Amino acid sequence: MKKFLLATILISLTSLNANEVLVAKDSITLSLKENNLLSSEEKALIAIESDNYVYIESVINQGLLSPKTFVDGKPLIIHAAILNKPEMILLLASYGAMIIDPICEEGKNIMEYAQENNSYLAQAQIIVIRA
């Protein structure tokens, strides 16, 4: 039985077209290149979404990003409120992101975004920080 499975695998591997192998390799390379081309702001948004506190803290400490950085017209802390990330809101606030009430380019504040997106945990965190 083992020999049969091994033979089947070998036949399927050798029957692959060379172009199919190159496409797979190129797509992997392409995704790695695209990841390296991301700006620090885009990487920060990904870090907020994936709860990568270490990355956010390191780029702020290294001076690569300000806690008040705007991405797509909104400060990072508003993105955290939209995504309902209360711990990220607290982290950004501890670095000064809420010294002045964060407002987007449209004039909406952080609480309005949290309410619009039903981000209840974010709303609670904003209330605690403001208290």
The pairing of beta strand 74-75 with beta strand 70-71: antiparallel
What residues does each domain of the chain span? 1-37, 39-130
The pLDDT, as a whole number, for residue 83 is 95
The pLDDT, as a whole number, for residue 18 is 42
Closest CA to 90 of 122, 58, 45: 122
Domain 39-130: CATH architecture, name and number where available: Alpha Horseshoe (1.25)
Give the DSSP H or E segment for 75.
strand 74-75
The pLDDT, as a whole number, for residue 99 is 84
Residues in the chain with pLDDT values less than 70: 1-36
What pTM did the predictor assign? 0.70
The pLDDT, as a whole number, for residue 100 is 83
Closest CA to 78 of 121, 39, 118, 108: 108
